[in-house]
Amino acid sequence: MLGLGQMGQTSDNLIRTRECVINLPSEDLVTHVDRLALTTGKDPVPEKKRQWGYRYEPDKFSTAGFTPMESVSVAPPRVRECPVQMEGIVHDCRPFGKNVNANVFEVHIVKLHVDERLLVDEGARPHIDPVRWHPLIMSFCRFFGLSGEVHASRLAESDFMKFVTGKPGQIEQGTTSVPLAAGSPADAEVTAAGVRVTGG
């Protein structure tokens, strides 16, 4: 299940093509992922996103310094540098939430690619060794690895976060829930750094 704001191009692409690749970066790719902060593939940039500092970027691969690579089962390309890549077909899509503009996508993974260096080849089925895999995780617009924060985030310092928190460049510690209203952060295209979705 993926939840994405309706304001972003990724939602439009998933609805139009019904295909995607979910590329999972490792924490050593954080500077590449951070280059995508405040970019959108939507042209023109929605007014609200423009006010938050977003800009149109038609080639996010070049912006991030990533290499597109052909997928096996779907049309959207994979990110060569990401050690885990999941090719998926959109099975269902529907709006969700109250007072938010977001979609939920049920995606069926049809092909999984894993860097062989991450695999344990013991037993009947190889599996990912959790000691070797160091995923990049984005939590409240900040970048984390399994051992803590790994890099400053441009998104966390942006006007978008000022809108979300009502404070410049910070999130209150210990906050567990934020009431959402019309024009809330769920209106934004929110793509977790740990899950980069590319659509046709």
Q: 26: how many CB neighbours lie within 10 A of its CB? A: 19
Instruction: Compute the C-alpha angle 104/108/111, nearest 5°.
Output: 135
- What is the per-residue pLDDT across 38-78, written as a single tens digit (0 to 9) for each? 999 999 999 999 999 999 999 999 999 999 999 999 999 99
User: What domains are there in the chain, each with its CATH number?
Assistant: 2-171+180-198 (2.30.110.10)
Q: How far is CA 30 from CA 111, 120, 178, in A?
A: 25, 25, 27
- What is the per-residue pLDDT across 111-165, written as a single tens digit (0 to 9) for each? 999 999 999 987 778 899 999 999 999 998 999 999 899 988 888 888 877 776 7
Residue found under tokens 């000691």: 131
d(CA 113, CA 92): 23
Which pTM does this prediction carry?
0.77
